[in-house]
Homo-oligomer: A and B are copies of this chain.
Amino acid sequence: MSIATEIHRRREVAVVGIGATPFGEHWDKGLRELTWDASVAAVEDARIRGKDLELIIVGNMAGGMFVGQEHVAALVADFLGLKPTPAVRVEAACASGAVALRQGYLAVASGLYDLVAVGGVEKMTDVQAGWATAVLTGAMDFEWEAYFGTTFPGIYALIARRYMHEYGLSRELLAEVAVKNHFHGSHNPLAHFQNCITVEDVLSSALVADPLRLYDCCPISDGAACVVLAPAEKARQYTDTPIIIEAATQASDTLSLFERRDICTLDATVEAAQRAYKQANVSPKNVDVLEVHDCFTIAEILALEDLGFCKKGEGGRIYNEKQAYVGGSLPVNTDGGLKAAGHAVGATGIKQVIELVKQLRGEVEGARQVKGAEIGLAHNVGGSGATAVVTILRRR
C-alpha cells in the first residue's frame, strides 16, 4: 500500500537548519515572539533568507485554549514577514510537532516543495492554576474520559499501577527515569529544569495521582522549535552536515484508554516503529541515540519496550543498569526529555528532532554528546497513545 509506494517514489529529505528557544516560563514572550526566536535561528542555521521558504508548517496543540489564538500558522507567517507563503497549522495533541514535521517531510519527499520550514510552538504558562491540566484533557476523549474527571496524570497513573502489578517494577526504579533525565537536563542550557535530583527527591515529592508523584510528571512549558527541510540532493547548499530523515511514520489508536487491548502497550507506537524500521531499513540495534516521549516516567519505560529496545516488562532493567545515560549502551533523552528539558506540547516533537540533529552533527554541549552517533530515533506521542510518530535520522 502506501508505505511500499513511499519507499520507491519518495525523494530523500534532509534537515538543513535548526533553532529553538529555551523551554520554560517565558513571561515576556507570547506565541509570536517565541516562534520568531526559533525560526530566525533555524533560517540562519540553514544560511537562507525567510523569503526562500516555500511552505510553512506549524505544530501547535491548543493556541485557542491557552491564549485565545487559533489561526496560528497565519500568525507565524505574518509576524515573520513571510506573506504570501502558505502556512498550515497541524494538531495532534502532544504529537503536534512530529506530525507537523511529517507533513513537511511529505511535502519535500513528494518533489512538490524544496525549502519547507516546520515549526512547533506552545505558550502554556500564562494561565490560572489548573487550567493547563484542563486544556490538556482535550487530548483524551472529552466525552468518554475527560468529562468524568480523568486527567492525564490520572491516565498514566492507571498505566503505571497496572504495569507495576503485571511486571513487578519497583517504585524506586520508576524514579530512576526522572533522575536520569534531570541529570541530562543539568547539562542542557535550553532545559526547563537544569537541576539534578535523587530517587529520594522523587519519592518524597507531592503525590499527584498514585503511584505518580510530582517528579514523575513533566512540566508545562513555553517554547518554540523550528527546523528547515530541503531535498537531500541539494542539502549541502545549506549546511555542511545534512542529517537525513530516513523515516517519518505515524499510526493511530483508540483515543480512550479503556478501549485498548492492553493499557501497558501503546499499539500506535508499535505500529509506527515497525513502519519506520522497514522504511529506514534499520533495526533497534542500529540506533545510537533516542528521544522518547516521557510525559510521565512510566511512559519512557513503555516507549523503550514498544519501540523494540527490550521485551515487554523488561524496560525497568535498563534503568537498573544505567544503560540509558550518555555513555551507556542506549542513551535516552540526552537533552533531559520532556521531564527535565520541558514540554511545550506543540514544540516537543520538533525539539526532540533538534536534539538528535545536534547529536548526529556532533555539536552537543560537552558531556551530553553521544560519541560517534550516526542514527537517532525520535518518538512523539499524542494523548495516551492515540497518535504516535517515529522519526529516524541518519548522519551522512
Q: Is A369 located at the chain interface by the 8 A CB criterion?
A: no
Q: Is A114 located at the chain interface by the 8 A CB criterion?
A: yes
Which B residues lie within 8 Å of A63 (CB)? 138
CB distance from A140 to the nearest CB of B (A): 8
Among all A-B residue pairs, the 7 with the closest Cβ atoms = A110-B110, A70-B138, A86-B250, A74-B386, A84-B251, A71-B93, A2-B54
Q: Restricting to A61-77, which residues have a CB under 8 Å from any CB of B?
A: 61-65, 67-75, 77
A74 touching B92 by the CB < 8 A rule?
yes
Residue-wise, chain A 41-83 has the 8 Å CB interface mask toward B (1 for contact) of: 0000000000000110000011111011111111101100011
Q: Determine the interface band of chain A, counting residues with CB < 8 A from chain B.
A: 35 or more
Which B residues lie within 8 Å of A140 (CB)? 71
Which B residues lie within 8 Å of A85 (CB)? 251-252
Given A78-B253, A254-B83, also A139-B70 (CB < 8 A)? yes
Q: Is A379 located at the chain interface by the 8 A CB criterion?
A: no
Q: Is A9 located at the chain interface by the 8 A CB criterion?
A: yes
**Would you mind naming 22 contact pairs between A and B with Cβ atoms under 8 Å apart?**
A2-B113, A2-B114, A64-B65, A68-B137, A69-B138, A70-B139, A71-B255, A74-B382, A74-B383, A77-B252, A77-B386, A83-B253, A84-B268, A85-B252, A86-B249, A87-B387, A88-B90, A90-B91, A106-B106, A106-B107, A107-B110, A110-B111
Which B residues lie within 8 Å of A88 (CB)? 90, 92, 99, 103, 250
The answer for the CA separation of A146 and B71 in the assembled complex, in Å, is 13
Given A64-B65, A71-B387, A383-B74, also A83-B138 (CB < 8 A)? no
Q: Is A6 located at the chain interface by the 8 A CB criterion?
A: yes
Which B residues lie within 8 Å of A139 (CB)? 70-71
Instruction: Give the residue among A10, A111, A146 with the most B Cβ atoms within 10 A.
Output: A111
Q: Is A281 located at the chain interface by the 8 A CB criterion?
A: no
Given A9-B111, A138-B63, also A383-B93 (CB < 8 A)? no
When all copies of this chain in the complex are counted, the total is 2
Residue-wise, chain A 137-164 has the 8 Å CB interface mask toward B (1 for contact) of: 1111111001100000000000000000
B114 touching A112 by the CB < 8 A rule?
no
Q: Which of B10, B83, B99 contacts A268 (CB 8 A)?
A: B83
Which B residues lie within 8 Å of A268 (CB)? 83-84
CB distance from A347 to the nearest CB of B (A): 15
Residue ID in chain B nearest A3 by CB atoms? B54
Q: Is A128 located at the chain interface by the 8 A CB criterion?
A: no
CB distance from A352 to the nearest CB of B (A): 18
A71 touching B138 by the CB < 8 A rule?
yes
The answer for the CA separation of A19 and B72 in the assembled complex, in Å, is 29
Which B residues lie within 8 Å of A82 (CB)? 252
Residue ID in chain B nearest A113 by CB atoms? B2
A91 touching B70 by the CB < 8 A rule?
yes
Which B residues lie within 8 Å of A146 (CB)? 68
Q: Is A355 located at the chain interface by the 8 A CB criterion?
A: no
With A71-B382, A73-B91, A83-B254 given, name 16 new contacts (CB 8 A).
Answer: A1-B114, A2-B54, A9-B110, A30-B143, A68-B138, A69-B142, A73-B92, A74-B386, A75-B386, A78-B254, A84-B252, A84-B268, A86-B249, A87-B252, A90-B90, A106-B110
Which B residues lie within 8 Å of A72 (CB)? 91
CB distance from A53 to the nearest CB of B (A): 10
Which B residues lie within 8 Å of A65 (CB)? 64-65, 70
Residue-wise, chain A 245-265 has the 8 Å CB interface mask toward B (1 for contact) of: 000011111111001000000
